[in-house]
Amino acid sequence: MTAIFTLALKSLLNRRATAGLTVVSIALSVTLLLGVERIRTEAQDSFTSTISGTDLIIGARSSPVQLLLYSVFRIGSASNNISWESYQEIAAQPAIEWTIPISLGDSHKGYRVMGTTADYFTHFRYGRKQRLEFDRGLPFADLYDAVLGAEVATQLAYAVGDPLIIAHGAGEVSFVEHGDKPFVVAGVLKPTGTPVDRTIHVSLEGIEAIHIDWQSGMPAQGQTVSPEQTRTMDLSPRQITAFLVKLSSPMATFGVQRFVNEYRQEPLSAILPGVALQQLWEITGVAEKALLAVSSFVVVVGMLGMLTALLTSLNERRREMAILRSIGARPLHIFILIIGEAMAITLLGIGLGILLLYGLLMLAKPLVLSMFGFYLTIGPINAYEALLLGIIFLAGTTIGIVPGWRIYRYSLADGMTVRI
């Protein structure tokens, strides 16, 4: 039997141009399939771990996905705000352990500015219940202090102590700036791979201060209040955009949710972040499934390429088979010879495909981190990927049965008669 496998390898080596191309096409399809699978799971992991340890997100009445998008992903904007009174009333409910109010609507060079309280840095959790950590500096203490997400700090090359001017509105380019009240960078957070990295955090009072002399979205004419004057004024927030809620017991979730949804003073929504994340993922999931389907088809194409290469080689190899028969090879040997070639091609393809995948992952890792802010973990082949590879190997071997069976029939019919 070893004689047969040696022959299979030597024969492949002899046809290394076609065999090599077949191996490469299978390798590429394997790389594509595994790559898509990797990115899919990595993206889903990164996506669903954007926020954790929060039981409810409460905002103005809207769809769960919209509320999730603006409160967690800083995408789009709220349809309405929540009055400070409503927030306080709900936050005072006995079932609630803590709340983090957030106030959105301003930006700095395309990065969203979020007003919140210092509780944010102690209570907020992402990923596997990880807490926010400071790379340098401290949480905001002063009215005009700002804490930058990791990406903001690197992209804009800000250091602790640098001034920054907040623009009104959330656009990349804003014509209306709060130029009279500059902020100072007080701290920079460590990268999280979540939208936190792209956020500038200030205190709720700071947000209130820069809008104190504004009316209907424009600086009021004539009357300006200097940054120092605002410090003496009442800066309690009048309204917020949303707030994150942690309950003392998960049992209370639906009670609080109903209380918020039926709240009389203003129309509000309370959403379960996990459920809303899942809904959002399902929307994007269609594309992801299509991608997986496409890459599976590429594998099928690679396999068909191998089938074509093996089948076209058969006719010219009938002579070889007759010689082997005359030496004493059994038709079964000839069958195994062809199957062995299919197995070798598939195995080499899978091996090369894995190498390519890891090569690409190494290359992509720093790029993905800097461009999309998500940390690509390069782990070993997991069970599911091993299953996919196993299926590919089985498929390759099974495909080898087609030319194998054909040559088996040939060798039975030809015997040791050489046909040209």
Partner 1 sequence: MIETMQGTAEPVIGIDDLSFNWSAGLDPLLEIEQLEIQAGEKLFIEGPSGSGKSTLLNLLAGVLVPQRGEVRILGKKMTTTGSADRDRFRADHIGVIFQMFNLIPYLSVTENVTLPCRFSKKKYNKITERGEEPAGEAHRLLRALSLADPELIRRPVTDLSVGQQQRVAAARALIGAPDIVIADEPTSSLDAGHREAFIKLLFQECEQAGTTLVFVSHDGSLSRFFDRSLPLQKINKASTPFAAMEACES
DSSP per residue, 159-180: -TT-EE-PEESSSSS-S-B-TT
C-alpha to C-alpha distances, 251 to 247, 255, 257, 272, 274, nearest whole angstrom: 9, 8, 11, 13, 16
Considering beta carbons, is residue 240 or 334 the nearer one to partner 1?
334
CB of 42 to partner 1, least distance (A): 44
Of 178, 241, 164, which is closest to residue 213 (Cα–Cα)? 178
User: Which of 14, 221, 223, 232: binder of partner 1 (CB under 8 A)?
Assistant: 14
The binder of partner 1 chosen from 3, 75, 355, 378 (CB under 8 A): 3
What's the token pair of residue 142?
A: 């002063």
Contact by Cβ (8 Å): 191, 197:
yes
| Site size toward partner 1, by CB under 8 A | 26
Nearer Cβ to partner 1 (133/316): 316
Find the part of the chain contacting partner 1 (CB under 8 A) among 13-21, 45-53, 79-87, 303-311: 13-21
Sequence-distant (6+) residues with CB within 8 A of 37 are 292, 295, 384, 385, 388
Task: Please pick, from the candidates 328, 371, 380, 383, the single residue that binds partner 1 as defined by CB under 8 A.
Answer: 328
Contact between 5 and partner 1 by CB under 8 A: the answer reads no
Length of the chain: 420
Q: What CA–CA distance (Å, rounded) separates 59 from 66? A: 10
* Binding residue for partner 1, selected from 122, 326, 377, 382, defined by CB under 8 A: 326
Q: Is 271 helix (H, G, I), strand (E, B) or coil?
A: strand
Buried b (16+ CB within 10 A) or exposed e, 405-416: ebbbebbeebee
415 belongs to the binding site for partner 1 (CB under 8 A): yes
* 159 scored as a contact of partner 1 (CB under 8 A): no
Q: Residue 314, interface with partner 1 (CB under 8 A)? A: no
Return contacts of 355-364, CB within 8 angstroms, 24+ apart.
356/27, 356/28, 356/30, 356/31, 357/30, 357/31, 357/34, 357/35, 357/38, 360/31, 360/35, 361/35, 361/38
User: For tokens 């918020």, what's the residue?
Assistant: 260
Q: How far is the CB of 304 from partner 1 (least distance, A)?
A: 25
> Does 319 contact partner 1 by CB under 8 A?
yes
Selected binder of partner 1 within 87, 268, 325, 335 (CB under 8 A): 325
Q: Does residue 324 touch partner 1 according to CB under 8 A?
A: yes
Of the residues 20, 261, 320, 354, which one makes contact with partner 1 according to CB under 8 A: 320
| Among 178-186, 254-262, 324-332, 336-344, the segment contacting partner 1 (CB under 8 A) | 324-332
Binding of residue 323 to partner 1 (CB under 8 A): yes
Residues 139/121, Cβ–Cβ less than 8 Å? yes
| Cβ nearer to partner 1, comparing 108 with 325 | 325
Q: Please name the residue that has the structure tokens 């500059």.
A: 182
Minimum distance of partner 1 from residue 19's CB (angstroms) = 11
Does 342 help bind partner 1 (rule: CB under 8 A)? no
Positive/negative CA dihedral, 144, 149, 150, 152:
negative
Task: Kindly indicate which of the ranges 202-210, 246-254, 328-336, 365-373 contains the residues binding partner 1, using the contact rule CB under 8 A.
Answer: 328-336
* In the complex, least distance from residue 333 CB atom to partner 1, rounded to whole angstroms: 8
Binding site residues, partner 1, CB under 8 A: 3, 6-7, 10-11, 13-15, 319-320, 322-332, 415-418, 420
